[in-house]
Homo-oligomer: A and B are copies of this chain.
Amino acid sequence: MSSPSPSSAPAALSWQLIEDARERIAGKVNLTPVLTSSTLDGLTGARLSFKCENFQKGGAFKARGATNAVFTLSETAARRGVATHSSGNHAAALARAAALRGIRAYVVMPDNTAQAKRAAVNRYGAEITWCAPTMAARENAVQQVLAATGATLIHPYNDLLVMAGQATVAVEFLEAVPVLDVLLCPVGGGGLISGCAVAAKSIKRDIRVIGVEPKGADDAARSLRAGRIVPVERPDTIADGLRATLGELPFAEIRRLVDDIITVSDEDIVRAMRQMWEVLKIVVEPSAAVAYAALLNPPSALRSRRIGIIVSGGNLDLDQLPWRVAPNN
């Protein structure tokens, strides 16, 4: 295992940070299983391995980064608690990590947050501040919380410790399946793919790392072409976990290490999600199906390759599915 050459850029994600993260979160998060399927290999003409972060604590990879960030805090900082604004999996992951360390978590959530996600954050005993469902209101509210409490902000992705935690997905994946030629990874704010790109290329220099994102939230593809972050004004996709705009820290690693970004339609995301439920027998959320969706019409470069697919999470409302369902009793 070779380390990446030291970068002169400030605040780059190093292999050392990832190794530290791995040791720090061991026993506090799950080592998730890798699944294979000869049926899906046959359908796609490739050899697929699925790293199942839907089986992670809290149902998503977010547990890794949040746990790493929370357990890195000094005693003094920890005593003042941690804070974030998020309506999704990061909020629950941070609440859980804080509970594990026995410190307070302050979560700012938009008042239109789904019931299931409120419940997850509540379960871990976080203190919730409600705000209007706009980014300005969220940021304003979290600044007030930070000022009032002295808590440390743990950003969902624009944070090296969070990125280092998410990177452990790729470390475990390559330990389980060292022969991978390609790693396919969903892209939202970029925390997962940036961490996994640094980890994967540190372990295996010639592996290709490819991001996949919804056509309706294709800021990573646009940004990589433009050489600077190009936000999508109004993201429009069923993959609710991938609507965030890339962070600066993840983008730096993506520019440096990610080989390509593929975009997929919502129609293909739903078809992929359903195939994964039906054949792999796993419950995955739409955001977690985008990497496999790229293989429904596989680019020729992916044919016959050994492909690692990161399945990011499995949190969704079972009363609301993106296909027609008739009651059977």
Category for how many chain A residues contact B: 20 to 34
Q: Judge whether A238 is part of the interface by a CB distance below 8 angstroms.
A: yes
23 contacts between A and B (CB under 8 A): A33-B33, A54-B281, A55-B280, A59-B281, A238-B328, A238-B329, A270-B329, A278-B283, A281-B284, A281-B314, A282-B282, A282-B283, A318-B323, A319-B323, A319-B324, A320-B325, A321-B327, A321-B328, A322-B328, A322-B329, A323-B327, A325-B325, A325-B327
Complex alpha-carbon distance, A190 and B288, angstroms: 38
Tell me whether A135 is interfacial, beta carbon within 8 Å. no
* Residue A266 lies at the interface, judged by CB distance under 8 Å to chain B: yes
Is A326 an interface position by the 8 A CB rule? yes
A 2-40 binary contact with B (CB < 8 Å = 1; else 0): 000000000000000000000000000000010100100
The minimal Cβ–Cβ distance linking A114 to chain B, given in whole angstroms, is 11
Does A274 belong to the interface (CB within 8 Å)?
yes
The docked-state distance in angstroms from the alpha carbon of A327 to that of B325 is 8
A239 to chain B, nearest CB (A): 11
**Interface 0/1 of A57-68, CB less than 8 Å to B:** 101000000000
Q: Is the CB of B282 within 8 A of A281?
A: yes
Q: Is A318 within 8 A of B278, CB to CB?
A: yes
- Complex interface residues of chain A between 48 and 99 (CB less than 8 A to chain B): 54-55, 57, 59
Of B284, B318, B325, which contacts A319 at CB under 8 A? B325
Q: State whether A320 touches B326 (Cβ < 8 A).
A: yes
Smallest Cβ distance from A315 to chain B, in angstroms? 8
The chain B residue with its CB closest to the CB of A59 is B281
Complex-state Cα separation, A314 to B323, whole angstroms: 19
Determine if A318 and B277 form an interchain contact, defined as CB atoms under 8 angstroms apart.
yes
* A54 CB contacts on chain B under 8 angstroms: 281
Which of chain B's residues have a CB closer than 8 A to the CB of A317? 328
Contact A329 B266 (CB under 8 A): yes
Chain B: minimal CB distance from A244 (Å): 20
CB A156 to nearest CB in B, in angstroms, measures: 21
Q: From residue 136 to 188 of chain A, which have CB atoms closer than 8 A to chain B? A: none
